[in-house]
């Protein structure tokens, strides 16, 4: 399974999350475009820099959202993500999120509690739509 996980590992996606962690910017991947292909460090935000900053347009997301987080906030802090997603997007009465107890980041979909906590919660939410 390790080989499968690494074969589908997208370095650009991880770099995009690192940009968020380092620069506090949630934008398209900072190496997009030929002119940025050799950048090693994400640039600081600048007016007119051409990047699409997702957090500036979160309010355009009007569809219902559902998230599954780890109670330990392993790798992804629940409070930060709830603030970013649910306080950033346009409210929908079907918006929901859960925290899986005794879990780490990957555990929420791959751990022992995924079949009994995560997957039923996702199914129930989908059924409510």
One DSSP character per residue, 51-101 reads: --BGGGGGGG--S--EEEEETT--SS-HHHHHHHHHTTSPP-TT-EEEEET
Quote the pLDDT of residue 37: 79
Same domain, 72 and 109: yes
Reading the block at residue 125, the tokens are 């939410």
- The lowest-confidence range among 20-24, 42-46, 47-51, 102-106 is 20-24
Same domain, 97 and 41: no
Same domain, 95 and 119: yes
Q: How many domains does the chain have?
A: 2
CB 94 within 8 A of CB 64: yes
Domain that holds residue 9: 1-57
| pLDDT tier at 104, thresholds 50, 70, 90 | confident
Same domain, 77 and 17: no
DSSP state of 30: T
pLDDT tens profile 89-99: 999 999 999 99
The 3-state DSSP class for residue 33 equals coil
Same domain, 71 and 27: no
């Amino acid at each position: 399974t390790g080989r499968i996980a690494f074969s589908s590992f997208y370095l650009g996606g991880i770099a995009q999350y690192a940009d968020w962690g380092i620069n506090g910017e949630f934008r398209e991947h900072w190496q997009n475009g030929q002119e940025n292909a050799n950048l090693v460090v994400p640039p600081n935000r600048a007016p007119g820099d051409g990047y699409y900053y997702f957090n500036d347009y979160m309010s355009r997301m009007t569809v219902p959202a559902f998230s599954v987080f780890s109670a330990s906030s392993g790798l992804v802090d629940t409070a930060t993500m709830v603030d970013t997603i649910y306080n950033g997007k346009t409210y929908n009465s079907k918006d929901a999120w859960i925290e899986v107890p005794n879990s780490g980041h990957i555990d929420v979909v791959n751990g022992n509690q995924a079949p009994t906590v995560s997957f039923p919660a996702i199914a129930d939410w989908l059924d409510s739509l």
